[in-house]
Amino acid sequence: MASNDQEYSLSELVNTDIRAPIPTPIVEQVLCKEPFTAVPGVINIRDLGVYASPFIGRGVAYRCGALSQLTDEGKTILAKDLGIKLILNLRSGTETSKDPEPDIEGVKSLWLPCTQQPLPVDLNDFVGDDGKKGYLKMYGDVLDIYKPSFRAVLEHLKDDRGPVLFHCSAGKDRTGILAAVLMGLAGCSHDTIAQDYALSRIGIEPHRETLLKILSQWGKDWDRNTPGMAEFSAIKGSIMKTVMEMVDEKYGGMGGYVKHELGFSGEEIEKIRANLKR
């Protein structure tokens, strides 16, 4: 380690309360190393293949936050260095209209409408127990209404059309669920999926204050002290483990979800798994 580097523990950093800052020098160190990928103008970007190995190969699937601040250098990195062929935008139509997707030569940008409007967030659902009730409701809804987008990514992977990048605004919730779909389908353990999810606590740190303000504005009378807000803002691996347990119970695992909810055959699922390993 270079002399100007500071010692840190990823496991400790991801457990940092969302209301407390992580020292900037440490954040800068972490974000320029795997599993993160340095792309100017993009927050919380990382390669699923780092944590999901050997089930997902490196350079196959990437996750991140919004691309609206992507620089020209960042465009070159995505298109040339990472070889991204498809970018899936999981943001809402309103979010996308406010901050449009960038045009990147040689890269297809895809946005698909949800099957229905997301359920409204009730902070009362997040009070206590790390907000598990609220997250199960919210993430269960994501699995339901984002099926067209999730299917599109899996179709792309099935046909082996090149690396894919998917994102929402912070790269935490909608992006986290699609990452869980891919990792769960590939064969990753719940612990591994939870660890990947929790890394967003570090990935969003450069924009943490802005994101917290945005969340506080979701409700007319919300602020950082509103009961349930701390849990709603948190990024805890235990939440994703609870969601994966729900998926096991409701769908028989991610394989069952992809087969019965997204409509892929067993043969197609095996093809997707094989292409994820590349």
Q: Which domains does the chain have, with CATH numbers?
A: 23-276 (3.90.190.10)
In the predicted structure, residue 30 carries a pLDDT above the cut 90: yes
Cβ burial of 241 (10 Å; 0-12, 13-18, 19+) is: middle
Instruction: Give the model's pLDDT for residue 9.
Output: 86
Instruction: Give the model's pLDDT for residue 220.
Output: 79
* Contact status, residue 236 vs residue 243, Cβ threshold 8 Å: no
Mean pLDDT on 76-85? 98
Global pTM reads 0.96
Mean pLDDT on 108-121? 97
Q: How confident is the model at residue 214 (pLDDT cuts 50, 70, 90)?
A: confident
Mean pLDDT on 90-117? 96
Q: How confident is the model at residue 257 (pLDDT cuts 50, 70, 90)?
A: very high
Percent above pLDDT 70 for the chain: 98
Mean pLDDT on 3-23? 85
Instruction: Give the model's pLDDT for residue 4.
Output: 61
In the predicted structure, residue 5 carries a pLDDT above the cut 80: no
In the predicted structure, residue 254 carries a pLDDT above the cut 80: yes
In the predicted structure, residue 176 carries a pLDDT above the cut 90: yes
In the predicted structure, residue 223 carries a pLDDT above the cut 70: yes
Instruction: Give the model's pLDDT for residue 263.
Output: 98
In the predicted structure, residue 1 carries a pLDDT above the cut 60: no
In the predicted structure, residue 88 carries a pLDDT above the cut 60: yes
Instruction: Give the model's pLDDT for residue 278.
Output: 83
Instruction: Give the model's pLDDT for residue 2.
Output: 43
In the predicted structure, residue 155 carries a pLDDT above the cut 90: yes
Mean pLDDT on 184-190? 98
> 47: which strand partners?
62
275, two tokens = 């292409």
User: What is the DSSP secondary structure assignment for residue 205, as one 8-state letter?
Assistant: G
Mean pLDDT on 240-257? 98
Sheet of 86-89, strands arranged across? 46-47, 61-64, 164-167, 86-89, 108-111
* Least-confidence region, from 8-22, 76-90, 176-190: 8-22
Using CA atoms, how far apart are residues 235 and 248, in angstroms rounded to an integer? 21
